[in-house]
């Protein structure tokens, strides 16, 4: 690279590193506060998950940071008449803009890798650490108060004492919605939060099990009981999986969708052939339509997430493609003024359109293969018009 291009690239990297560091630190505090509020974590426990929060926030800070970076660098270069001097020396303005385009393209690839590989790893580790912390908080509470009560589902735990993870003389009372109360008393037991299965595993020794309404009572030496966590088992978390894993899940879902559709058609045809029209309204037949709708929603959601990762990662390049020439045209304005003049239309146009396309794609109304790129496509004509003005004048 020639000297002038090396100089511009060095300025871009210097400003980008500074700005992305500041924005990431600010967002880390917001993310840490959200984790504290959601999971009742203390400051020391939040510090343990900070290393996983930082990489999970970078894909959201990189595009806006790149836009601010090109605005700062090219706005200052143009304000100092360096663009004019370069043109007078016979150097095209495009050669001065190439460093920003190359850097934005590289950052788009980095952002995609972060979204596809680093974020699933970070979110999985955050959930694992939070589960361990919740287990610690639960045991500390039980050790101090000797009782734990949760309303939904209705669970009450009384203990004589807690030694490490061992519960001494625990008494469990579990009442599912619309079900019978189960009383379990034991000499001792251990407890473990299984986040993957969304259950609490209780390993009891020398225990008694009693269901009063059923007059059922039994005495056993050892058994493992499971209680559901307060939250219901979630659907597939697309952010916790790489694109390769999502596509593998898609293959299984699409195969299951075809199977359920064939089963529904066979049931319908059999009911029509035998004249058993009441069977068409039977719960087991109607369940096919419910399953098909749920499966189709999951498939649309995964397709949308895959294309969203590519489109939002590429937004870094499109922001620079528009922001770099625009800041050159606004050379006499202040840097923040140029940034907001460029970012405000993106905020009011790009992100609402991207969110609308995302919602419609998840609903199955639009094909995410093109819908998720609509926001980027809208920026292209504005960027081309702006770039032509820079090259011409």
CB count, 10 Å around CB of 123? Answer: 18
Query: Do 305 and 189 have their domain in common?
Result: no
How confident is the model at residue 34, as a pLDDT? 66
In a domain, 147, yes or no: no
How confident is the model at residue 381, as a pLDDT? 92
Q: Which of 41-55, 107-121, 223-237 bottoms out in mean pLDDT, i.e. has the lowest?
A: 223-237
Percent of the chain with pLDDT over 90: 14
Choosing from 173, 205, 228, the residue where a domain stops is: 228
How confident is the model at residue 234, as a pLDDT? 45
In a domain, 251, yes or no: no
What contacts 76, CB < 8 A, 6 or more positions away? Answer: 335
Q: What are phi and psi of 148, to 5 degrees?
A: -135, 130
Query: Do 90 and 11 have their domain in common?
Result: yes
**pLDDT mean across residues, the chain:** 80
How confident is the model at residue 233, as a pLDDT? 41
Choosing from 228, 243, 266, the residue where a domain stops is: 228
Bridge partners, 172 (sequence order): 157, 184
Query: Do 307 and 388 have their domain in common?
Result: yes
Q: Which of 46-55, 71-80, 318-327, 349-358 bottoms out in mean pLDDT, i.e. has the lowest?
A: 46-55
Choosing from 213, 228, 243, the residue where a domain stops is: 228
Higher pLDDT, 278 or 8: 8
Query: Do 128 and 45 have their domain in common?
Result: yes
Residue 13 banded pLDDT, cuts 50, 70, 90: very high
Residue 14 banded pLDDT, cuts 50, 70, 90: very high
Q: How far is CA 288 from the centre of its chain?
A: 30
Q: Tell whether pTM > 0.85.
A: no
How confident is the model at residue 228, as a pLDDT? 63
Query: Do 189 and 74 have their domain in common?
Result: no
In a domain, 148, yes or no: no
Domain enclosing residue 18, as ranges: 3-134+300-392
Query: Do 104 and 199 have their domain in common?
Result: no
Q: In Å, what is the CA distance from 242 to each residue of 114, 198, 321, 346, 366?
A: 10, 21, 28, 28, 23
Judging by DSSP bridges, how do beta strands 216-228 and 199-211 pair with one another? antiparallel
In a domain, 264, yes or no: no
Q: How many domains does the chain have?
A: 2
Report which of 99, 7, 65, 98 is spatially closest to residue 319, judged by C-alpha positions: 65
Residue 232 banded pLDDT, cuts 50, 70, 90: very low
Higher pLDDT, 285 or 326: 326
pLDDT tens figures, 66-111: 988 998 888 888 888 888 888 888 888 888 899 999 999 999 999 9
Q: Which of 16-30, 81-95, 276-290 bottoms out in mean pLDDT, i.e. has the lowest?
A: 276-290
Q: Is the pLDDT of residue 29 over 50?
A: yes
Query: Do 310 and 199 have their domain in common?
Result: no
In a domain, 181, yes or no: yes
In a domain, 235, yes or no: no
Q: Is the pLDDT of residue 333 over 70?
A: no
Query: Do 118 and 173 have their domain in common?
Result: no
Query: Do 39 and 74 have their domain in common?
Result: yes
How confident is the model at residue 194, as a pLDDT? 72
How confident is the model at residue 171, as a pLDDT? 82
Query: Do 117 and 176 have their domain in common?
Result: no
HEC profile of the chain: CCHHHHHHHHHHHHHHHHHHHHHHHHHHHHHHHHHHHHHCCCHHHHHHHHHHHHHHHHHHHHHHHHHHHHHHHHHHHHHCCHHHHHHHCCCCHHHHHHHHHHHHHHHHHHHHHHHHHHHHHHHHHHHHHHHHHHHHHHHHHHHHHCEEEECCCEEEEECCEEECCEEECCEEEEECCCCCCEEEEEEEEEEEEECCCCEEEEEEEEEEEEEHHHCEEEEEEEEEEEEECCCCCCCCCHHHCCHHHHHHHHHHHHHHHHHHHHHHHHHHHHHHHHCCHHHHHCHHHHHHHHHHHHHHHHHHHHHHHHHHHHHHHHHHHHHHHHHHHHHHHCCCCCHHHHHHHHHHHHHHHHHHHHHHHHHHHHCCCCCHHHHCCHHHHHHHHHHHHHHHHHHHC
Higher pLDDT, 64 or 132: 64
Query: Do 28 and 124 have their domain in common?
Result: yes
In a domain, 157, yes or no: yes
Judging by DSSP bridges, how do beta strands 161-163 and 171-175 pair with one another? unpaired
What would the two tokens of residue 31 be? 């993310």
Q: Is the pLDDT of residue 213 over 70?
A: no
Query: Do 338 and 366 have their domain in common?
Result: yes
Residue 56 banded pLDDT, cuts 50, 70, 90: confident
Higher pLDDT, 53 or 364: 364
In a domain, 380, yes or no: yes
pLDDT tens figures, 149-164: 766 667 778 888 888 7
């Amino acid at each position: 690279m020639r000297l002038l291009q090396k100089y511009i690239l060095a300025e871009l990297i210097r400003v980008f590193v500074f700005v992305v560091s500041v924005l990431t630190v600010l967002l880390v505090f917001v993310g840490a506060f959200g984790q504290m509020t959601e999971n009742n974590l203390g400051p020391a426990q939040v510090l343990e998950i900070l290393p996983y929060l930082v990489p999970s926030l970078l894909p959201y800070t990189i595009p806006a940071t790149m836009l601010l970076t090109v605005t700062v660098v090219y706005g200052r270069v143009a304000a100092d008449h360096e663009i004019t001097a370069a043109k007078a020396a016979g150097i095209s303005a495009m050669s001065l803009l190439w460093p920003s385009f190359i850097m934005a393209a590289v950052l788009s690839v980095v952002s995609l890798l972060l979204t596809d590989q680093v974020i699933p790893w970070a979110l999985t580790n955050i959930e694992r650490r939070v589960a361990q912390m919740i287990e610690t908080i639960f045991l500390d509470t039980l050790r101090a108060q000797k009782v734990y009560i949760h309303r939904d589902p209705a669970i009450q735990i009384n203990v004589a004492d807690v030694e490490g993870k061992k519960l001494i003389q625990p008494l469990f009372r579990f009442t599912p919605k619309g079900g019978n109360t189960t009383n379990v008393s034991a000499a001792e037991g251990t407890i473990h939060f299984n986040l993957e299965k969304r259950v609490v595993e209780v390993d009891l020794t020398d225990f008694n099990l009693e269901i009063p309404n059923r007059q059922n009572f039994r005495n056993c030496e050892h058994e493992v009981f499971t209680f559901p966590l307060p939250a219901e088992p979630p659907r597939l978390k697309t952010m916790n999986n790489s694109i390769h894993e999502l596509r593998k899940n898609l293959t299984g879902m699409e195969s299951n969708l075809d199977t359920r559709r064939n089963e529904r058609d066979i049931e319908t045809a059999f009911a029509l052939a035998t004249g058993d029209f009441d069977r068409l309204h039977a719960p087991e037949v109607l369940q096919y339509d419910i399953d098909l709708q749920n499966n189709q929603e999951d498939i649309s959601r995964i397709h949308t997430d895959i294309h969203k990762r590519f489109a939002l990662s590429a937004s870094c390049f499109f922001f620079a493609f528009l922001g770099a020439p625009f800041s050159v045209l606004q050379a006499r304005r202040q840097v923040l003024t140029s940034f907001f003049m460029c970012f405000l239309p993106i905020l009011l146009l790009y992100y609402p359109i991207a969110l609308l396309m995302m919602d419609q794609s998840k609903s199955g109304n639009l094909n995410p293969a093109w819908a998720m790129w609509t926001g980027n496509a809208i920026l292209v004509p504005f960027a081309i018009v702006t770039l032509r003005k820079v090259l011409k004048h």
